């Protein structure tokens, strides 16, 4: 660990020039006393550096001293530094490792080209997160990574979108980050399955081991799973106006993905929101709206579904109107 920190100090001095001990301590997450000890060690090891005290002081490398780590070209370095650190790498705890690696790459460039690469980083920023995205906690991610690497089975308690939970024993073959959402690809007694890591409520390693098939291709499996998912998506979109009470309950009924869309839909003066929900077909949409959503939702589109709801409500009224009137008579003034 100390050897890595000593190298980081050299690279920081090479890239940024004069730096105070306080700045080095902040950058590397250690005390100033530790930095002073590291600087003494570097001097004793023959690294050509000097320090100035007082305002504007700090430590720097003697002119001409530099490390030589790689023959990375300016174009190659620019392509690496254009992107911000991807969130999935941070989820895996690799953010500090990646930053250290990029620092080494930047230090490998001549001083003249280094400024051009840093300019590329300053003028281009990539944000891969979708709008209205809410970060999902993935506390089990490191454990799943360890299990996949070691070939250990994992016991987990998993919560499905509708709220019910089940316990599973899985053999994690690999992890996939879809934008900022993590999935574990696992073998189970019922076959291969995909589980959303954020829905794992509890997980632990077991003593049971598994052997991942030598011909298993994680990328190919994920591509096939995505193709199947897209082919099976509901194809009947319905525009609904939903009440405040129903809006609060919809994520539990149809999935957490609706929460962001509901938050993006501005409420009208009565607090109702307009949202599009897709169903498998016309009949399933009709059954859901009339049976589950009831008068807490109003169909705005498509017109054929709205007409069917009106017709169904009229038929229900015709069937029950007489009984309702009879029951209501004793209570009428």
- pLDDT tens for 287-312 read 888 888 888 999 999 999 999 999 88
CB burial class (10 A; 0-12, 13-18, 19+) of residue 205? middle
Q: What is the mean pLDDT of residues 267-286?
A: 90
Q: What is the pLDDT of residue 120?
A: 65
According to DSSP H, which parts of 18-137 are helical?
21-28, 32-44, 74-81, 87-91, 95-107, 111-123
Q: What is the pLDDT of residue 251?
A: 86
According to DSSP H, which parts of 94-217 are helical?
95-107, 111-123, 141-150
Q: What is the mean pLDDT of residues 168-174?
A: 96
Q: What is the pLDDT of residue 329?
A: 46
CB neighbours of 87 closer than 8 A, spacing ≥ 6?
128, 129, 135, 180
| Residue (of 5, 87, 94, 91) closest to 41 by Cα position | 5
For residue 81, the 8-state DSSP code is: H
CATH architecture assignment, domain 2-123: Orthogonal Bundle (1.10)
pLDDT of 325 > 70? The answer is no
**What is the band of 63 on the pLDDT scale with cuts at 50, 70, 90?**
low
Q: Across the chain, which distance is largest between two alpha carbons, in Å?
A: 103
Give CA–CA dist 245/250, Å, rounded.
Answer: 9
Q: What is the mean pLDDT of residues 191-213?
A: 95
Instruction: Say yes or no: domain 141-231 is CATH 2.30.30.520.
Output: yes
Q: What is the pLDDT of residue 208?
A: 96
> Residue 153 in contact with residue 212, Cβ under 8 Å?
no
Q: What is the mean pLDDT of residues 161-176?
A: 91
The answer, as to whether pTM is greater than 0.95, is: no
- pLDDT tens for 79-133 read 656 555 556 666 666 566 666 766 766 666 666 666 766 666 666 666 666 665 5
Question: Which range scores top for mean pLDDT: 46-50, 188-192, 230-234, 309-313?
Answer: 188-192
pLDDT of 316 > 90? The answer is no
pLDDT of 70 > 50? The answer is no
Q: What is the mean pLDDT of residues 14-33?
A: 84
């Amino acid at each position: 660990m100390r050897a890595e920190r000593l190298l980081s100090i050299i690279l920081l001095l090479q890239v940024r020039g004069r730096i105070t001990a306080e700045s080095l301590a902040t950058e590397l997450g250690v005390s100033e006393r530790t930095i002073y000890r590291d600087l003494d060690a570097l001097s004793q090891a023959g690294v050509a550096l000097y320090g100035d005290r007082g305002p504007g002081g700090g430590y720097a490398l003697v002119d001409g001293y530099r490390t030589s780590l790689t023959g990375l070209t300016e174009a190659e370095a620019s392509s690496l530094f254009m992107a911000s650190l991807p969130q999935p790498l941070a989820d895996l705890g690799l953010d500090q490792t990646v930053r250290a690696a990029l620092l080494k790459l930047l230090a490998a460039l001549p001083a003249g080209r280094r400024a051009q690469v840093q300019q590329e980083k300053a003028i281009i920023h990539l944000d891969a997160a979708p709008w209205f995205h809410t970060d999902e906690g993935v506390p089990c991610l490191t454990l799943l990574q360890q299990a996949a690497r070691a070939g250990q089975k994992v016991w987990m308690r998993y919560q499905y979108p509708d709220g019910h939970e089940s316990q599973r024993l899985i053999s994690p073959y690999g992890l996939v980050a879809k934008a900022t959402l993590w999935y574990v690809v696992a073998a189970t007694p019922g076959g291969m399955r995909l589980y959303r890591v954020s829905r794992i409520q509890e997980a632990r390693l077991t003593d049971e081991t598994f052997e991942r098939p030598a011909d298993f291709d994680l990328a190919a499996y994920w591509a096939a799973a995505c193709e199947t998912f897209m082919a099976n998506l509901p194809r009947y979109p319905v525009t609904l106006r939903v009440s405040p009470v129903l809006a609060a309950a919809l994520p539990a009924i149809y999935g957490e993905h609706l929460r962001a869309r509901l938050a993006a839909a501005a409420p009208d003066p009565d607090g109702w929101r307009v949202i599009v929900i897709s169903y498998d077909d016309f009949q399933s949409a009709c059954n859901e709206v009339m049976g589950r959503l009831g008068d807490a939702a109003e169909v705005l589109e498509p017109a054929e579904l709205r007409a069917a709801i009106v017709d169904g409500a009229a038929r229900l009224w015709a069937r029950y109107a007489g009984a309702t009137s009879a029951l209501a008579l004793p209570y009428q003034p």
